[in-house]
Amino acid sequence: MRNIIALVLTAGVASPALAASGPFFSLSNTNFVVLIAFLLFIGVLFYFKVPGILGGMLDKRADGIKSELDEARALREEAQTLLASYERKQKEVREQSERIIATARDEANIAADKAREDLKKSIARRLAAAEDQIASAEAAAIRDVRDQAIAIAVAAAKDVIAKQMTAADGNKLIDDAIAQVGEKLH
């Protein structure tokens, strides 16, 4: 508003109309007519409150720009908050994944150690079972050898006794055996 008034005063005081020849305040002087028309135009603008309307429009535009800047600032702050939140979440997820990996690695090592222990126990059990089978086979072989030795000895004794014994000696042995069985049963 002040700028417009200064413009009018400047135009009225330092106009080129002062450099024209002849009376300035005459309707035949075009400079005077232009000055009057300009002053009337300015007066009409002030009468219809055009500077106020223009000022209001400019103020409204300035308020709109200010609100847009405030909104942009708020959106920027919100975006920074979201970014910080996502960075914090990313850090937490990274830490959690590192913990999960460490836990999985520890569990894998524990499982591997347990598998080694189980394998050692299994090998020890199988060795013990194999040793038991070997001992059992040895005992069976020894028993078979003894049984065969006894069978051979009995057969050999039978042949020797059969060659040395007579029928009377055999009957006497049978009678003695019957007597011994009778004594042991009563």
Q: What is the pLDDT of the chain when averaged over all its residues?
A: 86
Quote the crossing angle between the two packed helices 30-47 and 50-164, to the nearest 10°: 50
pLDDT digits (tens, 9 = 90+) for 67-100: 999 999 999 999 999 999 999 999 999 999 999 9
**Two tokens, residue 102:** 């460490």
| Pair 25, 15: CB distance under 8 Å | no
- Residue found under tokens 């990313």: 90
Which pLDDT belongs to residue 17? Answer: 47
- Alpha carbons 99 and 112: distance in angstroms, whole number: 20
20-28 average pLDDT score? 73
In this structure, the number of other CB atoms found within 10 A of the CB of residue 55 comes to: 12
Residue with the larger pLDDT of the pair 1 and 45? 45
- The band of 155, judged by pLDDT with boundaries at 50, 70 and 90, is confident
Cα 41 from Cα 6, distance rounded (Å): 16
Rounded CA-CA distance 1/45 in Å is 12
pLDDT for 7 equals 53
pLDDT for res 97: 95
Please report, rounded to a whole number, the percentage of residues in the chain having pLDDT higher than 70: 88
Whole-number pLDDT of residue 1: 55
